[in-house]
Amino acid sequence: MTEETDHGRTPATQGSRIDAYVDRYAARATGMVASEIRALFAVASRPEVVSLAGGMPYVTALPLDVVGELVSDLVARRGPVALQYGSAQGDPHLREQICEVMRMEGIDASPDDVVATVGSQQALDLITRIFIDPGDVVLAEGPSYVGALGTFAAYQAKVVHIAMDDQGLIPESLAQTIYALRAAGSRIKFLYTIPTFHNPGGVTLNVARRQQVLDICQRAGILIVEDNPYGLLGFDGDPMRALRADNSDGVVYLGSFSKTLAPGFRVGWALAPHAIRDKLVLAMESAVLSHSTFTQLAVGQYLATQPWREQIKAFRELYRERRDAMLSSLEALMPPGVTWTRPGGGFFVWASLPEGLDSKAILPRAVAERVAFVPGTGFFSDGSGARHMRLSFCFPEPDRIREGVRRLAGVIEQEVQL
Ligand code: PMP
């Protein structure tokens, strides 16, 4: 612990793990608990462990020397601007470039409706902050992105999961859930969805269902929050058309450069209907005054001077090879009764174990066999998901993926026989 972080501690608690402030936190802080993924990182990052757990993009594939030159050039040429405060809405030129990126998914937007945020994670936080009172309902796929569930919990939202299958969110299930919740007097604030290359589900909402989901939400007057960090990382064909492309009033779209460039810049964005955009800017101001001008300009400079579409293509090829390595070894090695999704893009496979097995109970044995995954329960707000696990193929090289799946299959094989 450094001197700075030790300020304010009383001698009685110094060095102790007991929280002397436990009865003084705001009620919302009780919902802030470490995710299962966070706790896992310590073990999974040991070199002998093949981690199929984390979702880290493979930034080593970037031309790092070029990025380095670009950053130093930025300071040399535009230092007084790049190192200054900026506007809470984000750099205007970057917001124009973001609109160009979104055009690849059929979105026609004005830079004026974009707010640049500290990753799309901050956009999630801001949108939750401006919409959620304690007890309000957020609809989300089951399973859903663990970071979003953490944010919803921090604002004391009640998350109600909507079932998914291999074609994504099931529209009938959405409609029925809305009906039942409304009949029970619940206040539904928005549907949070990851339609394309779902984290952790590895599935994509098909075209017909996209229109159905838009129609259901429009009829019910429910805002859609479309989280789309993986949309450009499809392995076949052109990018899917975003939900936002077909409804500009009822959808807040969240995007990110974390997977198409690098998460270390922490540049993401929200594209929102005008009134919501105003609130987001105010929330942004109160949270951080303004985003880092430096990283926004660095991303802007990268987009302006580098072949970024080619880089995305290179990432797609790299991740496709890893996805293939994972799917073919699952196919070859997993015992009967284990099933998994076949992602057309993104980073994740969602695997399901035979009835009666519990992935969290299996994890310590898997780690002992030097392989890690994320148990399914972390992706549900209601403790379900025990039979499932998320396997990520974004970071380990293909041979390591094959070795990791081999170790995992061995552990599951033993469990099945017990
Ligand atoms: N949404 C989803 C579905 C994600 O998987 C992630 C990152 N893992 C994020 C949002 C947040 O990403 P970032 O803040 O880096 O843009």
Is there an atom of ligand 1 within 6 Å of 200 CB? no
Residue 61 alpha carbon to ligand 1 centre in Å: 19
Of 249, 263, 218, 260, which Cα lies nearest the Cα of 98?
A: 260
Is there an atom of ligand 1 within 6 Å of 147 CB? yes
Bridge partners (DSSP) of residue 350 are: 390
Is there an atom of ligand 1 within 6 Å of 263 CB? yes
Is there an atom of ligand 1 within 6 Å of 260 CB? no
**pLDDT at 6 (0 to 100):** 36
Say how far apart CA 231 and CA 219 lie, in whole Å: 26
Taken as a whole, the chain contains a residue count of 418
Is there an atom of ligand 1 within 6 Å of 54 CB? no
Residue 6 alpha carbon to ligand 1 centre in Å: 31
Is there an atom of ligand 1 within 6 Å of 258 CB? yes
Q: Are 322 and 396 in contact (CB under 8 A)?
A: yes
Of 107, 88, 386, which Cα lies nearest the Cα of 240?
A: 107
Ligand 1 closest atom vs CA 122: 14
Pair type for strands 168-169 and 158-165: antiparallel
**pLDDT at 11 (0 to 100):** 45
Say how far apart CA 277 and CA 306 lie, in whole Å: 30
Q: Are 396 and 380 in contact (CB under 8 A)?
A: no
**pLDDT at 28 (0 to 100):** 85
Say how far apart CA 52 and CA 262 lie, in whole Å: 20
Say how far apart CA 136 and CA 190 lie, in whole Å: 9
Residue 127 alpha carbon to ligand 1 centre in Å: 14
Say how far apart CA 337 and CA 198 lie, in whole Å: 23
Token pair in block for residue 395: 């970071």
**Nearest 5 degrees, angle CA 365-CA 371-CA 375?**
70
Is there an atom of ligand 1 within 6 Å of 229 CB? yes
| Positions of the chain with pLDDT lower than 50, given as ranges | 1-13
Residue 11 alpha carbon to ligand 1 centre in Å: 39
Q: What per-residue string of b and e applies to 253-275 under the rule 16 or more CB within 10 Å gives b? A: bbbbbbbbbbbebbbbbbbbeee
**pLDDT at 10 (0 to 100):** 43
**pLDDT at 1 (0 to 100):** 32
Is there an atom of ligand 1 within 6 Å of 199 CB? yes
Say how far apart CA 74 and CA 204 lie, in whole Å: 38
**pLDDT at 14 (0 to 100):** 53
